[in-house]
Structure 1
Amino acid sequence: MLFFTDLDNTLIYSHRHCIPGDRVWVEMLNGRNQSFMTARTAGFYRAQDWLLPVPLTTRNSQQYARLAPALEALGWHDALVSNGAVLLRDGVPDREWWAESLEISGRDRSEYNAALELVRGMVSPDSLVSRDPFMFYVKTGSAAELYSFLVRETDAAHLAVFRDSRKVYCLPRSLNKGAAARRYQIRSGHEGYIAAGDSEFDIPMLRAADICLCPEGLPDFVPAGKRIVCSGVFSDTICDRLTELRETLSGGRSAFFQRNNT
């Protein structure tokens, strides 16, 4: 069963998170432990044998590379990074996928480049991160102000602008997680997919899924018939709900997806 999962705050957590219980460290940055899985989550993915997990993350290739050894140890080979614009196979970008992403985002390219030039004139070079032609972000202590400015000054039909507490992200509108999930599903020949995510970035992926798992803050954005709302430690609850779903799926995938798409 194809399973797309976001990474940060869905599968893994920053060292800043105070989550009780044992941790399995999966990422180091500047010689220090940066991100971890809970022991429950790590144990679930080591033992499961019925899901094909594919990370679908806003992290770029360099950021994902810090996690790759831990995820490859789980037997995970593919990852969709830069919001799904780049497909990595065992850490190597898939050239055909890259070319297709460039073609898909062509109609958004002018607005994306204009926004990049606009931001370059406003912030210091070390605060602007642009690793590929599909996404850039700004690290700033004034994320709310920069976000409001970019939303006001750019064309939302061609540029997607998101923010968290410390970063503002800009991406071509056509390259969202939902589009990437559908591309991968069609390319791999899977009948349907399950998805899990926690943020605004993930909404297109969750909406396009046959069944999705989301935290209590997102349900209003996802159709009620396909969502499973998770409380508590999100990554651990995802494992619990997936275990329950496996029992449902034992009746046959076709019956499951027909029932959940009715």
Structure 2
Amino acid sequence: MKIFTTDLDNTLIYSYKKDIGRDKILVETKNGKKLSYMTKISHEILKELNFIPITTRSLEQYQRIKFFEDYQPEYALAANGGILLYSGKIVKEWYQKSLEISVKSIKELEKGIKLLTEDENIYFEVRKVDKLFIFTKSFNIETVIKKLKNNLNQELVDIHNHGEKLYIFPKELNKGTSLERLKKFLKADTVICAGDSEMDIPMLEKADISIFPKQLKKFLSRQKEQYAISEKELFSDKMLQIVKKVFQE
């Protein structure tokens, strides 16, 4: 069985701040505000595919997304893979296992919360997302990351940023380990995976077929089937065209 897993933001959907042309479909709102869109081309191809989102978004953030009016993906992974949804409901056994996986990192996460709360470079609430990882924002991200790396045990936690967004994850709670769990859970023999950022690298490495922007290629070491998409092309459209072709083969 083949399964297709995909990151969401800037892989499949785009913020209202990004110009993806006028021919687009609204997929996310919050309190009436329009937040995220898909291109019409991507939306049409996605209708033909069974797909499993795998996102760092919190459960609440993921649940804001409505890909289609009449149905949503059967399975989805939120909170960096820590939460598995089946037909929109949390799979309790999966979540419990994620909490167990994170136990050895708890003290480092708590230390991270203290460091961030006391840091004058932080301008956003320091959150523990779905009891699994830390998130906040900084206007001096490089300074904050350097401080965290000097004070936290990086054998127990991973520190990442995406622009001003800052994350501290338990070492074993990443999209790669989550993808391995999912493959076993669904008894899949082939996994096609798409992602656009360095936080997606662990799952791109674990996939049988990986699709990513060309600039990530230098970070990927494995020799399985890969598709590197030029930055001149809109990633979601080209990526889904590749996935559709793979499923047709």
Q: Same fold (TM over 0.5)?
A: yes
Report what 2:227 is aligned to: 228
The secondary structure found in structure 2 opposite 1:236 is: helix
Equivalenced residue count is: 244
Could you tell me which residue of structure 1 aligns to residue 101 of structure 2? 104
State which of 71, 76, 79 in structure 1 corresponds to 2:73.
Answer: 76
The one-letter code sitting in structure 2 at the alignment partner of 1:153 is N
SS at match of 1:7: coil
- The two structures, once aligned, show a CA RMSD in angstroms of 1.8
Structure 1 gap segments, 5+ residues each: 249-262
**Counterpart amino acid of residue 28 in structure 1:** T
Q: Secondary structure at the match of 1:155?
A: coil
> In 2, distance between residues paired with 1:130 and 1:22?
37
Asked whether the equivalents of residues 113 and 126 of structure 2 are also in contact (C-alpha less than 8 Å), the reply is no
Task: Name the SS of the counterpart of 1:204 in structure 2.
Answer: helix
CA distance in 1, matches of 2:160, 2:67: 28
**Corresponding residue for residue 246 of structure 1:** 247
Counterpart for residue 148 of structure 2: 150
Q: Deviations over 1:191-241 (max 9, x none)?
A: 121100000110000000000100111112222432111120000001111
Which piece of structure 1 moves more, 6-15 or 146-155?
Answer: 146-155
Match status 1:140 vs 2:138: yes
Following superposition, the deviation at residue 125 of structure 1 comes to 8.6
After superposition, residues 14-25 of structure 1 pair within 5 angstroms as 14-25=15-26
Report how far residue 80 of structure 1 moved: 0.7
Letter paired with 1:32: K
The corresponding residue for 2:87 is 90
Q: Distance in 2 between matches of 1:152 and 1:74?
A: 46
Give yes or no for contact 2:124–2:138 (8 Å, CA) kept in 1.
no
Q: Partner letter of residue 182 of structure 2?
A: Y
Distance 1:103 1:163 in 2: 25
TM-score by length of 2: 0.91
Distance 1:147 1:73 in 2: 43
Determine the structure 2 residue equivalent to 1:255: none
The 1:214–1:126 alpha-carbon spacing in structure 2 relative to 1, beyond 3 Å, is closer
Higher helix share: 1
Q: How far apart are 1:147 and its partner, in Å?
A: 1.8
Task: Report the Cα offset of residue 21 of structure 1.
Answer: 4.4
The TM-score normalised by the length of structure 1 is 0.87
Work out the CA distance in 1 between the residues paired with 2:106 and 2:190: 31
Q: Contact between 1:127 and 1:140, CA under 8 Å: does it hold in 2? A: no
User: Matched residues, percent identical?
Assistant: 32
* Structure-2 separation of matches of 1:55 and 1:139: 24
Unpaired segments ≥5 residues, structure 2: none
Q: Distance in 2 between matches of 1:130 and 1:144?
A: 21
Distance across 1 between alignment mates of 2:68 and 2:109: 32
Q: Could you tell me which amino acid in structure 1 is paired with residue 201 of structure 2?
A: I
